[in-house]
Structure 1
């Protein structure tokens, strides 16, 4: 990053320090769980942003991904599986973004052990108490994949009788509804929740259908002790229209890739969580979570690939008559993940005003799968790139400790350590129907040990102002999907764990009218796990240097201004691609908005989201057409009357033709080498909510 950019970064930091300090701060009463225990809001880390339930309800948004993007200021891209589970990119990881952020529900991991985004679409927004966004490496507490940060979605608890229902309609057309109900019976709190979404989608053949439902029960054994259970079931049915040539982004963004393109998925999941809290004495507390997550996944596709890739065209590549113009395939998988997480919190251990957390995390993942996929010369069942039939397993166990010492009103010190062992196994059988290939089998195994550390100092010269300095080491372990697509799939060619050394300096400032969080960071990575267009691999050395700032100014009771800014310099520092930018990462992005409270019943918000251009995924040489930058504006209006609230939205008011995802494929015909997945054009929605 140039000196000029660092000078520009310093301006908001200075502004944070000199803003007015004569008005006291205001904050809704919230208890946080960032330490994996219930804490008061004043224990929140300065790099943590809280999105409250009221902010969510006033937004009129329909799912968690939209909340994180439009309120939280995060980079959230459309998911290429067709669902509304957005791919969250914290601090510039491009294609691998979803595997470098950990998403949790009440502290229980939602991020999966696969190359996929965390599934959050099943959570009704009415059920959320608040969302905690912690930027920066957090592997000490949350382990594998927390390199970019963590997001903890906290649900409403310990409520008496409350019922919230919502329903809405939108463009394409789309329909949504949700329910949240809580009730207290004696010493037991019960909640019931559900959500539904159906949409034909912006593009041809992009239907999306999501349903979820569940309940939770918490029995209070005493004022501090409790046991609980939560059960959730979900189903998603999604269609995909395929990628379009970048030249069609402005002219034909609603088209499917080729006429008759078919891609259908059906994903079913179940979540079962058992939890307990025991207060041992005034200075000691015990918590435990036992969780099981099950996912079945069907995916089938079929389209004429001859116009996209010569491998499917009998009229090219030596006019091979065995070439089939139809690309097709079916895959099925069943995965089960089990976790066990006991932990202790001890206050005043060795020194007053110190809180120490000591915990253990155990995880086991098992998957069975089979598939059949066509290519240019026949049909295969294969363990490598054409589908597979077999089983995979992964297991890890870790212990960690973290100490948080508030020395006095000015000084706070946090340090932590985690050590995690892992082992994985893959056993595959494959069958070739092609006359030119043989049946076979393959297997690989891998094991190792990784560690994470953190040290953070927080200086608070006043109630309004905080500085923090943080140094940490974080990691990501190559999952079974990563290793199965490594450059050479052999028992001795597993990918190495990705490690990072992270440095961060930040300033927080808060008054009654102004609040700001600004951070400068550097992340130096070794063995970053990525994809080069055909295989997964470890990059020798890479880095992220950036600045991020989240600001809100309350001009008066009627007008509020919001600004979220992110600058990222993501590049490779060694090896073949030394000096090149990481594909899929925009240099700057953010949002600007204004909210006007017209009167006690009416509210209007005007927000603009923007992102600069970026190299397409797989373009490691930085030699192809870039994904264009964009600016998109949304308008929302809400009206409330007693227990009713109506929220209407116009998204992408100016009908911009834009995309947040572009992919480069060298083996395709030149016209299809750089392709895009268009985002929706101008669209409308209206949502009604009633509170009983």
Structure 2
């Protein structure tokens, strides 16, 4: 286990030592009013606070509303402090990145809706904007390697969006209208009804904007609904979502073009569309100490795009579908003074894509079959001054079958058939040595499999090898919900990291020489008064090559520090205000593997704010994004080139009615 040892000289230990000292002070600080506890998702089952995932960040529906986030992606960035890069297609679906994985951040985290994967077997971001924000009950962010429970791609962590399942009795709903700069509009309506064991909900939305840049208009319509039946020993239900969106593609700029006019477009005619349908059936049933649960989900996507160039146009279109079936069980038992929880399950996923474009007829299929097992023991040892001790061990085995054909490829690919098999494991534990003080640790192995787009543009004849990460995390949490601090020290040692290498020919996806991500995360919240609450999140990550000709060089598109601060003011008078700031460090340009570019993507700080006044069921609000109108960019794929400017100042007015 030598590879998992963190030397005491590691620079991240100084912040952790400081955090530990602050944590002890917080643990012994005068008690403040305790906020209501939230039941969140444990080992793929609902868990009370004592058995919740250690160090998880939870964003509630009230947090989302108070911050003025109009979509799930914005809530994760603004409230959760997760770093995101401006989207390339003018949509609000920024590329999210946990733990500094750069351009492949979205491929190194798993995004779920009610436990069902949103990740696709291709180089696309999870489409979070298609989830009506008014249906979201909470968002759970679990940082760090989580492949045992969630499979491939979970090295950076997991984001689970939980929608409302069942509603309170009676009929309730809301109407929302917002208008803003750049001809932005957002119209939403939701309705829910509960009567006895049966409940249902429905939400629709229509949003659009011309956006900051030329040729970057975006339009989207969404609808979702669900029905649930509670029958005493369990519940069952069905949910559906549909989304239609059209977007214009402004293209990238050089540094000179950005400074001359960041709002210009280099591709004034490009455009595309996306349609998504998702249906999920679920059931949960309890028999004594045994809980059974399962989801069956079907997702369909239709994508088309048109890219214009001098003398012609390139057309791209494909249809993709994904089916997931995830049965599982949890058995809890009390053995003496110990509580034992055993979770076992199966994940079956089938994905296929049919492509019709001017340069590719690449049809692809992937089947994955996984089995996982996790056992956790909880106990108290007061004779040793220890409370709420937890120890969990888990393992996962997953097999992949990949099929691919493309007669237009060079050289042509005919009936390529590959199989891959991979394992993950984890060992984690926590203990409360003092009241309101928890110390925790996690050690494990996570993995990622190359998707169809990465394998179709690879540097050799064989499909890319699985990416393996050896994960280590040490941390401490202190205080109550009213005054709390969490500090985590982490390290990911990666072999065969899957990444696009621009130095191979004209550029190709490959397995890199050994790399490493290490750093620390601090999260704090403090209720100064009953009406004023402060939150802060700081992530520092050092991402570098540890072997090969690039050893010691920084990875590209990874800012060392991302700091997010928020203040929420909620007096009882009907007024409320929320203001936030995020500071992002400079980072290497996307092609700068040699670290030889004479410039870096500049650091930047953005501000956002919202003020609202509520009378009865009515609420009026004004929201500002990028309040200082900072001109900056977070995506740049060449040295001083390939720049995608971020949005300028956005002002919005909204009116909401709840009934």
- Please indicate, yes or no, whether the TM-score normalized by the shorter chain is above 0.5: yes
> Quick one: distance in 2 between partners of 1:429 and 1:530?
25
The answer as to 2:93 corresponding to 1:78 is no
Q: Which residue of 1 aligns with 2:332?
A: 347
The answer as to 2:347 corresponding to 1:361 is yes
> Quick one: distance in 1 between partners of 2:366 and 2:388?
44
Alpha carbons 2:378, 2:390 under 8 Å: kept: yes
Q: Which residue of 1 aligns with 2:383?
A: none
Alpha carbons 2:89, 2:250 under 8 Å: kept: no
> Quick one: distance in 1 between partners of 2:128 and 2:92?
8
Q: Which residue of 1 aligns with 2:3?
A: none
SS in 1 for 2:512: strand
Report the RMSD for the aligned CA atoms in angstroms. 1.9
SS in 1 for 2:87: coil
TM-score, normalization: structure 1? 0.89
The answer as to 2:214 corresponding to 1:197 is no
Deviation at 1:371, TM superposition (A): 1.1
Alpha carbons 2:282, 2:296 under 8 Å: kept: yes
Deviation at 1:283, TM superposition (A): 0.5
The answer as to 2:601 corresponding to 1:601 is no
> Quick one: distance in 1 between partners of 2:251 and 2:366?
32
Q: Which residue of 2 aligns with 1:218?
A: 228
> Quick one: distance in 1 between partners of 2:34 and 2:50?
12
SS in 2 for 1:556: coil
Deviation at 1:173, TM superposition (A): 1.4
- Structural mapping, 1:122-201, within 5 Å: 122-159=130-167, 160=169, 161-201=171-211
Q: Which residue of 1 aligns with 2:389?
A: 411
- CA distance 1:430–1:530, shift in 2 (3 Å): same
Q: Which residue of 1 aligns with 2:618?
A: 644
> Quick one: distance in 2 between partners of 1:85 and 1:509?
34
> Which is worse superposed, 160-169 or 468-477?
160-169
SS in 1 for 2:514: strand
2:314 equivalent among 287, 306, 329 = 329
> Quick one: distance in 2 between partners of 1:517 and 1:9?
10
Alpha carbons 2:222, 2:242 under 8 Å: kept: yes
The answer as to 2:43 corresponding to 1:43 is no
> Quick one: distance in 2 between partners of 1:546 and 1:683?
33
> Quick one: distance in 2 between partners of 1:25 and 1:418?
41
> Quick one: distance in 1 between partners of 2:591 and 2:342?
44
Q: Which residue of 2 aligns with 1:525?
A: 494
- CA distance 1:512–1:474, shift in 2 (3 Å): closer
> Quick one: distance in 2 between partners of 1:512 and 1:271?
36
> Quick one: distance in 2 between partners of 1:597 and 1:39?
29
> Quick one: distance in 2 between partners of 1:285 and 1:93?
36
The answer as to 2:318 corresponding to 1:300 is no
Alpha carbons 2:122, 2:451 under 8 Å: kept: yes
> Quick one: distance in 1 between partners of 2:642 and 2:234?
55
TM-score, normalization: structure 2? 0.93
The answer as to 2:421 corresponding to 1:449 is yes
The answer as to 2:236 corresponding to 1:236 is no
Deviation at 1:158, TM superposition (A): 2.1
Alpha carbons 2:290, 2:329 under 8 Å: kept: yes
> Quick one: distance in 2 between partners of 1:499 and 1:524?
8
- How many residues are paired up? 637
Q: Which residue of 2 aligns with 1:11?
A: 18
The answer as to 2:102 corresponding to 1:94 is yes
SS in 1 for 2:346: strand
Alpha carbons 1:22, 1:511 under 8 Å: kept: no
Deviation at 1:425, TM superposition (A): 0.7
Deviation at 1:4, TM superposition (A): 5.0
> Quick one: distance in 2 between partners of 1:479 and 1:4?
35
1:617 equivalent among 577, 590, 602 = 590
Deviation at 1:327, TM superposition (A): 6.5
> Quick one: distance in 2 between partners of 1:619 and 1:116?
22
1:577 equivalent among 527, 550, 572 = 550
> Quick one: distance in 2 between partners of 1:15 and 1:516?
8
Deviation at 1:599, TM superposition (A): 5.1
> Quick one: distance in 1 between partners of 2:391 and 2:412?
56
SS in 2 for 1:16: helix
Alpha carbons 1:349, 1:356 under 8 Å: kept: no
> Quick one: distance in 2 between partners of 1:481 and 1:440?
15
Alpha carbons 1:123, 1:195 under 8 Å: kept: no
> Quick one: distance in 2 between partners of 1:39 and 1:606?
32
Deviation at 1:238, TM superposition (A): 0.8
The runs of 5 or more residues in structure 1 that have no matched partner are 304-324, 373-386, 432-437, 666-672
Deviation at 1:29, TM superposition (A): 4.2
> Quick one: distance in 2 between partners of 1:523 and 1:223?
44
SS in 1 for 2:447: strand
> Quick one: distance in 1 between partners of 2:615 and 2:379?
48
Q: Which residue of 1 aligns with 2:291?
A: 285
2:607 equivalent among 633, 640, 645 = 633
1:389 equivalent among 334, 337, 361 = 361
The answer as to 2:565 corresponding to 1:592 is yes
SS in 1 for 2:647: coil
Q: Which residue of 2 aligns with 1:106?
A: 114
Q: Which residue of 1 aligns with 2:4?
A: none
SS in 1 for 2:266: coil
Alpha carbons 2:90, 2:211 under 8 Å: kept: no
Deviation at 1:70, TM superposition (A): 0.8
Alpha carbons 1:46, 1:466 under 8 Å: kept: no
Alpha carbons 1:632, 1:654 under 8 Å: kept: yes
> Quick one: distance in 2 between partners of 1:605 and 1:284?
44
> Quick one: distance in 2 between partners of 1:298 and 1:590?
37
Q: Which residue of 1 aligns with 2:538?
A: 565
> Which is worse superposed, 679-688 or 292-301?
679-688
Deviation at 1:635, TM superposition (A): 2.0
Alpha carbons 2:464, 2:510 under 8 Å: kept: yes
- Structural mapping, 1:454-533, within 5 Å: 454-488=426-460, 490=461, 493-511=462-480, 513-533=482-502
> Which is worse superposed, 10-19 or 538-547?
10-19
The answer as to 2:402 corresponding to 1:428 is no
Deviation at 1:87, TM superposition (A): 1.1
> Quick one: distance in 2 between partners of 1:509 and 1:328?
58
> Quick one: distance in 2 between partners of 1:518 and 1:327?
54
The runs of 5 or more residues in structure 2 that have no matched partner are 1-6, 381-386
- Flag as ranges the 4+ runs of structure 1 deviating above 6 A: none
